[in-house]
A and B are shown apart, each in its own frame.
Chain A
Amino acid sequence: MRWYWIDRFIEFESGRHAKAVKNVSLAEEHLHDHFPCYPMHPNSLVLEGLAQTGGLLVCEQGGFTEKVILAKVPKAHFHAEAIPGDRLIYSTTIEYVRPEGAMITGTSYRGDQLQAEVEIVFAHLNDPTVGSLFDPATFLRMMRLLRAYEIGRAADGGPLQPPRCLRETTEQAASP
């Protein structure tokens, strides 16, 4: 299993908001383990999907230079279950970014029904020893896999591009 809890971005506006899709499928193994005989997508993983949507938005806003970790969930309300066949739309908005961290608000919709609403606080880690957890190539691959650069918009309204430092670091790592 890969720790991707969103399938693709459908909107990505640098520094402002991002929207992603999560398709819930009966083929996903974890649905059968959460409540045996009652397959559902756990709300903790809805939260993780919203954190990935908003966390990548925060990382991108900082040019992927900050080590962004989920630090706190001040609010998480779940109004409905997510079950096989559901297409969840996660919308996240940056509320603030400070040198110490950032906060996003997010919603999950199932059709026109509000499924979940959250607030998430991210911290910026300053510890240099955790550098290996935040490999630039991983970020770049994830953003491409989720199609952020196909649909995304930069702060000036132009197409979203990977930051130069991320491209250079990735190219250096790939060269013999």
Chain B
Amino acid sequence: MPTKDEVFESVQAALVDALGVDEDEVSPEATLVGDLGAESIDFLDIVFRLEKAFDMKIPRGELFPEDVFTNPDYVQDGKLTPAGMEELKKRMPFADLSGFEENPVVQDFANLLTVADMCRFVESKLEVTE
């Protein structure tokens, strides 16, 4: 089973290949969209590279539950409702949503995901050792 460091190195390599960024730009706190310039199509590429690197399957919507943001039960006036926020927490236990929860504007969500979140996502799917 991989260690946390090995997970980070593989996630870093996937992001360098998918986004054409330098290795030192991919720090744990870097956001995928804001800092590394990821666009929506890049997530397809990233998911594929993670699947290949870790020999695992990532079903659509597991890393980035876009359906929550298009569900009228969960979105009102461009913001997530409390029910939507609960659903998001349930679906993204690997992400730190505390900042987003203070002002859950849907448009801002894309810029939330960090490299560390992505590592935690991978770790949650694998048996990772220290």
Contact A101 B44 (CB under 8 A): yes
Q: Is B125 engaged at the interface, CB distance under 8 Å to the other chain?
A: no
Contact A100 B20 (CB under 8 A): no
Q: How many of chain A's residues have a CB under 8 angstroms from any CB in B? A: 13
Q: Which of B42, B47, B60 makes the CB contact (< 8 A) with A72?
A: B42
* Chain B interface extent, by class: 10 to 19
Q: Is A148 engaged at the interface, CB distance under 8 Å to the other chain?
A: no
Given A99-B60, A100-B60, do A74 and B44 touch, yes or no (CB 8 Å)? no
Given A95-B48, A98-B60, do A74 and B18 touch, yes or no (CB 8 Å)? yes
| Min CB–CB distance A174 → chain B (angstroms) | 36
Contact B17 A98 (CB under 8 A): no
| Min CB–CB distance B118 → chain A (angstroms) | 17
Contact A121 B44 (CB under 8 A): yes
Q: Is A103 engaged at the interface, CB distance under 8 Å to the other chain?
A: yes
Contact A98 B45 (CB under 8 A): no
* Residues in chain A near residue B48, CB distance under 8 A: 95-96, 98, 103
Q: Is A123 engaged at the interface, CB distance under 8 Å to the other chain?
A: yes
Main secondary structure of the interface of A (DSSP, over half): strand
* Assembly CA distance A106 to B44 (angstroms): 19
Given A103-B48, A123-B41, do A74 and B60 touch, yes or no (CB 8 Å)? no
* Residues in chain A near residue B44, CB distance under 8 A: 71, 98, 100-101, 103, 121, 123
| Min CB–CB distance A114 → chain B (angstroms) | 19
* Residues in chain B near residue A72, CB distance under 8 A: 41-42, 45
* Residues in chain A near residue B17, CB distance under 8 A: 74-75
Chain A proximity mask over B23-60: 1 for CB below 8 Å, otherwise 0: 00000000000000000011011011001000000001
* Assembly CA distance A101 to B41 (angstroms): 9
| Min CB–CB distance A67 → chain B (angstroms) | 14
